[in-house]
Structure 1
Amino acid sequence: MSLTHVLYESASGYGLFEVVQAEKIGAKLNEVQATITDLAKFGKFIKAKSFVPFKNAADALENINDVSEGVCSESLKEFLQLNVPKGSKDVLGVSDRNLAGAIKSETNIQCSTEELAQELIRGIRLHAEKMIAQLKTGDLAKAQLGLGHAYSRAKVKFNVNRSDNMIIQAISLLDQLDKDLNTFSMRVREWYGWHFPELAKIVSDHYKYARLAKAIKNKGTIGGDSIAMLTEITEDDAVSQQIVDAARASMGTDISEIDLMNIETFASRVISLTEYRKSLYDYLLSKMSVVAPNLAALIGDVVGARLIAHAGSLTNLSKYPASTVQILGAEKALFRALKTRGKTPKYGLIYNSSFIGRAGTKNKGRISRFLANKATIASRIDCFTESPNNRFGEALRQQVEDRLNFYETGAQPTKNSETMEKVLKALADTGIDDDEEDIDVEDKPKSKKRSSRGAEEESSSKKDKKKPKKDKSEKKDKSEKKEKKDKKKK
């Protein structure tokens, strides 16, 4: 059967071309290849039969997605049934093999993806704007640009609200701000300490110290009438009175106006950075509650954000096994231990969790392993659940609490399967859809005691299967028989 029609799917719509004549035998000759680039010669081989534009940009994106996935959409099916005559001799040229199979199953139209069809589609793409009357010069390029952007966005499937990249940037900036604020605050204390050294001993908070340095300026100007102003910053009348008394008997040197202006400017910068750090921390909490609520409920917002940042993304963290999560952040110590054949680290970033600090010295390694296991479960729930909430994180946190209590008092903790079933039941009662079918609630393997018992039973059964040992008398009889045989041979 020879090729009769060619399907052309563009950014503007579907086009159907009728094959007038085609050179199949000499298709690879240079002369035949050159005719494709020449519209006057190519127009003798093929002509436009029908063209249906897409309704809007959303309809174009939907149809192109179907084409890329090898699916025959309803609009394409209706277009082909309307324009391709039903007959056994009609063959439709299609660019994609999967799409050809879908068209054949939906419309019973014979399809071909051979080399001749690909060459004709190549020529149609080159001269489409001139061969289709409904298209003007430049229309196809604009449609391709807009559809390309929409197609890329749809393939990425980016969710603005659940972007873990924002968490990575926020926690990185937060850590950097902590370092810088510590350095700047010490610089303010040292700089202003030449003028009022007693203030550093009275006020330990860096933020309050910077505000006081900006408010007091020259220590000689403050007196009893300044207590109200100082109390707004210190929030304690006794501390304010102590500052006034210290200013009267201060051992600091006098300072010029230009120096006070520079100290004030630098203190203002430290104050603004501290306030920005607070707002950034609130922003991080809000993002963690949306992106990884279970991980935040289990291990804390800051530690969870650091784990996500170190892994690169929440998806990468969810793919890590619990053993990797346990030592995440301690890679240098791990490789150093492997190189020197020393002890490997028990924990990495999760050491900052409160659970590790509350555990005893002997149980720090155990609780870090258990916590890493639960953190892996929480990150997988957050990553692969469409509408995550913190119910599982709270349940997992309670499991860690029970395990800490077990190490201290010996109280038996609840099983993982029972905990997960309770959460799923609670979610079902409240009507929250949390992809319950995707969550595995199977219990862990049996404890070491049970497994050792099973090993003992297996070993005992293997011993029973072995042949019983022979008595010494039987061995003597055999040795006597061998001696008699040897004598007869001699």
Structure 2
Amino acid sequence: MVTVNNLLFESAVGFSIFDVKHQADAVGLELPEVKENIKSLDKFGKMVQLRSFNPWTSAQHGLEAINLISEGIMPDFLKQTLELNLPQTSGKKSKIVLGVTDKRLAGEISAAFPGIQCEAADTSEVVATLLRGIRVHASKLLKGLQEGDINRAQLGLGHAYSRAKVKFSVHKNDNHIIQGIATLDALDKGINQGSMRVREWYGWHFPELAKIVSDNSTYVKLVGLIGNKKTLTEESVDDLANLLNQDQGQAEAIVQAAKVSMGRDINDFDLNMLKDLASNISNMSDYRRILSESLDKKMGEVAPNLQVILGTPVAARLISHAGSLTNLSKYPASTVQILGAEKALFRALKTKGATPKYGLLYQSSFIGRAGPKVKGRISRYLANKCSIASRIDNFTDHPTKHFGEVMREQLEQRLEWYATGAKPMKNTEAMDKAIKAVMADNPTGLDIDVEMIDQHAATPKKEKKEKKEKKEKKDKKRKSVGGEDVEMADAGEDGEPKKKKKRKSIAA
């Protein structure tokens, strides 16, 4: 069994290093008297001794260190602590054995300090037991702490760590988009079903109104205003026109239709029930409009480029189906293309049939405007642009819609190319145009990625010139003599170039 010299204890208040004075073996830990010694501070205090205690400088400092440790990365603060408090040794025989909690962190420390051998609590029962005892008596073993400091630090750091893990960014929170589009779809379904029920119910009383007014939202508002058709007179035209966007002709048509209506009478109780239903549906329609405007604004903040290309509903449904904008940005374009058509894809693979060409992207206007023969090609091109746009939106600190506008212009030109053969814009030209627009429209003074600009700026002229010269040089070395390919090589003794014939083809 390896003898542990020191222990690293990570707590909510900082890093601590303990010297191990006495340890029991793995079998001895199961003895009742050893377990009692660990529970007792007097006896456990003789097994370990505090060597160094390094508290956090601030709550933010502690959160950053704990985040790194949770990912198996050694913080600089921990590295400095180990360098200052552990003796540096060289050689296998003189290695210091350090007990730590995390197995990944043990590997990081061993790689950074060749003279330290780490034993993780996952693999060593001795280390796990000793660290458990330190955690029980930490408030007494760590010097300079008052009663309750560790509990308060654990509570605050735990909440901060949970918030950091739950939300990726406060300003780019796509959870509201996912919930918003789901609520919008549920409202659409409820409004359509309720409007259909109002039309059918009120149609027994005033069937002619459904032929005059086709919009569901306007229809249910008119039901609440009209009530009993017998109450309509020439004086009601102005009130009806206010609901019909000042359409006097339509309002007069409703009044005239009420006078000669073939519908049957309705009692006051049923009419009140119908008005309440129409009022609820009208309120749902108003709330849907407010929610739609809020979703447009949120999409403009979180994914402006994707919004410009697809529109708010389709872009929001893509994010919702992927689970988050981060997940969507990690998908390849081929996955984005059929996102939403998974059942059709697996059914086609199972039956060896034709695989689907599009999923949620079918709702885009670009596929609707494309011809039947090029729908698959434009859907593949659209998925490519959506994949690029989602990555720009997700991994840019302050995304703008300029890239989306340029890529939408490319999509328009691609549709025109399929129809008329007009040459579309190249990708390099599109990206240069977008970068210039971002640099021109930069009111907050944010820095643009210099590497991206340099990469676009350094590509064209010099590389093209070198490629052209290399091609010309290669063409000069090859000549055609008597129908045979000849390669210019070193001249022979007679000054004539050596001929190198190619293999004759089978057809020849």
The verdict on a shared fold, with TM-score over 0.5 as the criterion, is yes
Q: Which residue of 2 aligns with 1:36?
A: 38
Q: Are 1:389 and 2:400 counterparts?
A: yes
Q: How far did residue 4 of structure 1 move?
A: 6.8
Q: How far did residue 353 of structure 1 move?
A: 1.3
Is this contact kept in 2: 1:71–1:102, CA < 8 A?
Answer: no
SS in structure 2 of the partner of residue 113 of structure 1: strand
Q: Which residue of 2 aligns with 1:447?
A: none
Q: How far did residue 167 of structure 1 move?
A: 1.8
Amino acid in structure 1 at the alignment position of 2:326: T
Pairing 1:10-409 to 2, within 5 Å after superposition: 10-19=11-20, 21-23=21-23, 26=25, 28-30=27-29, 33-34=34-35, 35-48=37-50, 51=53, 53-65=55-67, 70-71=73-74, 73=76, 77=80, 81=84, 93=98, 95=100, 96-97=105-106, 100=109, 111=116, 113-114=118-119, 120-156=130-166, 158-235=168-245, 236-409=247-420
Query: Alpha-carbon deviations, 1:66-90, whole Å to 9, x = none?
Result: 5555545459847974x77999999
- Structure 2 residue runs of 5 or longer lacking an equivalent are 461-483, 486-500
SS in structure 2 of the partner of residue 44 of structure 1: coil
Question: Looking at CA atoms only, which structure, 1 or 2, has the larger radius of gyration?
Answer: 1
Amino acid in structure 2 at the alignment position of 1:186: M
In angstroms, what is the RMSD of aligned CA positions?
A: 3.6
CA separation of 1:126 and 1:322: change in aligned 2, threshold 3 A: same
Separation in structure 1 between the aligned mates of residue 506 and residue 211 of structure 2, nearest angstrom: 85
Separation in structure 2 between the aligned mates of residue 45 and residue 438 of structure 1, nearest angstrom: 58
Is this contact kept in 2: 1:387–1:433, CA < 8 A?
Answer: no
Is this contact kept in 1: 2:54–2:81, CA < 8 A?
Answer: no
Query: Alpha-carbon deviations, 1:311-370, whole Å to 9, x = none?
Result: 222223223332332232233333444444443333222222111222223222222222
Is this contact kept in 1: 2:338–2:360, CA < 8 A?
Answer: yes
Q: How far did residue 233 of structure 1 move?
A: 0.4
Determine which structure has the larger helix proportion and give its number.
1
Separation in structure 2 between the aligned mates of residue 53 and residue 392 of structure 1, nearest angstrom: 46
Range with bigger deviation, 358-367 or 295-304? 358-367
Amino acid in structure 2 at the alignment position of 1:276: Y
Amino acid in structure 1 at the alignment position of 2:379: S
Is this contact kept in 2: 1:424–1:436, CA < 8 A?
Answer: no
Separation in structure 2 between the aligned mates of residue 427 and residue 112 of structure 1, nearest angstrom: 52
Query: Alpha-carbon deviations, 1:205-234, whole Å to 9, x = none?
Result: 111111111011111112111111111101
SS in structure 1 of the partner of residue 137 of structure 2: helix
TM-score by length of 2: 0.76
Q: How far did residue 18 of structure 1 move?
A: 4.9
Q: How far did residue 406 of structure 1 move?
A: 0.9
CA separation of 1:67 and 1:325: change in aligned 2, threshold 3 A: closer
Is this contact kept in 1: 2:110–2:117, CA < 8 A?
Answer: no
Is this contact kept in 2: 1:77–1:103, CA < 8 A?
Answer: no
Range with bigger deviation, 394-403 or 296-305? 296-305
Q: How far did residue 266 of structure 1 move?
A: 0.5
Query: Alpha-carbon deviations, 1:289-330, whole Å to 9, x = none?
Result: 122111111121111112222222222322333233223223
Separation in structure 1 between the aligned mates of residue 327 and residue 75 of structure 2, nearest angstrom: 35
- Structure 1 residue runs of 5 or longer lacking an equivalent are 444-459, 472-490
TM-score by length of 1: 0.79
SS in structure 1 of the partner of residue 423 of structure 2: coil
Separation in structure 1 between the aligned mates of residue 311 and residue 394 of structure 2, nearest angstrom: 17
Amino acid in structure 1 at the alignment position of 2:259: R
Pairing 1:449-468 to 2, within 5 Å after superposition: 465-466=502-503
CA separation of 1:185 and 1:306: change in aligned 2, threshold 3 A: same
Q: Which residue of 1 aligns with 2:466?
A: none
Amino acid in structure 1 at the alignment position of 2:256: D
